Amino acid sequence: MRVLVTEDDENMRVSVEISMRGAGFAVDVAADLPEADEALSVNSYDCAVFDRILPAGDALRYVERLRRSGWSVPVLFLTGQSGVGDRVAGLAWGDDYLVKPFAMAELVVRVRSLCRRGGPAPTPVLRWQDVELDTGRHEARRGGVPLTLTGKEFRILERLLAADGEPVPRAELIAAAWDELVEPTSNVLDVAVRQLRGKLGPPPVLHTLRGFGHQLRPPS
């Protein structure tokens, strides 16, 4: 799940980013609305978190304009304004509203809920050959044997299973498990795929397509 966080207070922005990454989200950050504009123009998000009052204006008005143009990504507003009128206004164009100060654990839970609400319900269990992924319970198995996967390994395998044996480009796998700070040419994907291949065990089903990406193929 990929989230955009727009917050002008650097300490708050860093704290939110660290907490969200620690919870397994891919996170992009913006310090103001022009930066948010740029991020939204090039990336797709499952949820967006906005501080209400930013140097370039009220994020509520910004989101209102986006909504009127058809933008439907779930939005959570962060704010120090706790009045009933403020909350009502925030919920008119956003989907959730969290008053500062707040517990990071609560923010993580609320954002995760909005991410699930924003898109079509994922298939709870993905299967390919003898590999099975339960996305609801975050469990993986091969041949009925449980696999202990990291969050990134889980998301890589999830994208490969969703492709149902079709090749998946490197860029798509990186986007599924990391955020825009990861260079497409870095070796983080290669390392994660190597670890995942080892955990899937023999006979090998996860194959590298040199210069393109990766693919699940039945054992020879």
Contacts of 101 (CB under 8 A, 6+ apart): none
How far apart (Å, rounded) are the C-alpha atoms in residues 58 and 52?
A: 6
Find the Cα–Cα–Cα–Cα dihedral 118, 24, 108, 38, rounded to 10°.
-60
CATH of region 2-118, choose from 3.40.50.1260, 3.40.50.2300, 1.10.10.10, 3.40.640.10: 3.40.50.2300
pLDDT along the chain (220 residues), means of 10: 92 91 88 93 90 89 88 88 63 80 89 74 76 85 92 89 89 75 67 94 93 88
Residue corresponding to tokens 């699940």: 216
SS3 label, residue 101: coil
**Cβ-contact 49, 7 below 8 angstroms:** yes
Residue 73 has which token pair?
Answer: 């990504």
Residue 174 has which token pair?
Answer: 């990186």
Contacts of 198 (CB under 8 A, 6+ apart): none
What is the Cα Rg of the chain in Å? Answer: 19
- Give the per-residue pLDDT at 121: 46
CATH domain 125-216 topology:
Arc Repressor Mutant, subunit A (1.10.10)
Number of H helices, E strands in the chain: 8, 14
pTM exceeding 0.75: no
Where do the CATH 1.10.10.10 domains begin and end in the chain?
125-216
Residue 213 has which token pair?
Answer: 């990406």
